[in-house]
Amino acid sequence: MNIALLGYGKMGKTIEDIAGDRGHKIVLKVDDDIENHDLGASEIDVAIDFCVPKAAFKNITTCFKHKIPVVSGTTGWLEEYEKAREICQKEDSAFIYASNFSLGVNVFFELNKKLAGMMQGLEDYSVNIEEIHHVQKLDSPSGTAITLAQQILEENSKLKGWQLDDADEDEIPIHAKREENVPGTHTVSYESNIDKIEIVHTAKSRHGFALGAVVAAEYLKDKTGIFTMKDVLSDLFNN
């Protein structure tokens, strides 16, 4: 594939290495205003977006208007997500957004939903989420932690929302920590007076996130429509 990178920071450089190892070519690197680049000149098959939040909507929708499918892992811009979906559908393009492209994290998401369904009738247990990331991460809580909370809310009608740190009884507390040189750890805990149940995902490097994004791009090539990482995983498991 010919891939455009929207954002060329540490994640973009890791994606570049993995894409090359898998036989793909990076034909465009956008690390400034996307309108400074001629998107029609490079025969782009798919764009992978890991830019800063304030640039995400413009980058993504500009690609849609050029019929370029987009895989986006940028968090912190989701107030405009529905509008981006509408533009994608109007332009007959393709889109996968995920708060986390790690294949392991997406398996973790499926475990989280299953566990939340099992726990929703056990009223003695309270749930909380902890996420730990590097100090350079701009948004808090992480998009992954928000996804975990939203999944739990879908399974448990007695919980009404989530809050960062201080939460009411009918809300999920999310505790966000920032430490040096930490790729990311997410923990979902259910605790009662007699025991504690936890599921944990710990990233060892950016490699897992970057690999998942490239695999998602391979899935999205030549498609139209809105997809999720669940679609990507289903395709992988069925082949």
Give the model confidence (pLDDT) of 153-175 as tens digits.
999 999 999 999 989 999 999 99
Statement to judge: residues 12 and 96 lie in one domain: yes
Q: Does residue 137 have an active-site annotation? A: yes
Looking at the predicted structure, is the pLDDT value of residue 68 above 70?
A: yes
Helix runs in the chain, H state only: 10-21, 53-65, 81-90, 103-119, 143-155, 207-220, 229-237
- CATH number, domain containing residue 121: 3.30.360.10
The reported pLDDT for the residue numbered 36 is 83
The reported pLDDT for the residue numbered 138 is 67
- CATH number, domain containing residue 19: 3.40.50.720
Statement to judge: residues 50 and 111 lie in one domain: no
Looking at the predicted structure, is the pLDDT value of residue 33 above 90?
A: no
Per the omega criterion (within 30 degrees of 0), is the bond before 141 cis?
yes
Give the mean pLDDT of 10-14.
93
Q: Does residue 207 have an active-site annotation? A: no
Statement to judge: residues 196 and 218 lie in one domain: no
Give the model confidence (pLDDT) of 208-218 as tens digits.
889 999 999 99
Statement to judge: residues 138 and 223 lie in one domain: no
Q: Is residue 71 packed enough to be buried (19+ CB in 10 Å), middle (13-18) or exposed (0-12)?
A: buried
For 66, the domain range is 2-100+207-237
Statement to judge: residues 166 and 138 lie in one domain: yes
Q: What percent of the chain has pLDDT over 70?
A: 99
Q: What span, in angstroms and rounded, lies between the C-alpha atoms of 61 and 64? A: 5
Average pLDDT score over the chain: 93
Pairing of strands 171-179, 161-164: parallel
The reported pLDDT for the residue numbered 239 is 66
Q: Which string of DSSP letters, residue by residue, matches 160-171?
A: -EEEES---TTE
Statement to judge: residues 93 and 152 lie in one domain: no
Structural domain total, the chain: 2
Statement to judge: residues 118 and 82 lie in one domain: no
pLDDT band at 238 (very low <50, low <70, confident <90, very high): confident
Statement to judge: residues 233 and 192 lie in one domain: no
The reported pLDDT for the residue numbered 182 is 81
Which one is catalytic: 58, 113, 137, 175?
137
Statement to judge: residues 31 and 77 lie in one domain: yes
Give the mean pLDDT of 179-200.
93
Statement to judge: residues 92 and 132 lie in one domain: no
Give the model confidence (pLDDT) of 96-150 as tens digits.
999 889 889 989 999 999 999 999 999 999 999 999 988 777 678 988 899 999 9
Which one is catalytic: 24, 133, 186, 201?
133
Statement to judge: residues 194 and 108 lie in one domain: yes
Statement to judge: residues 95 and 43 lie in one domain: yes
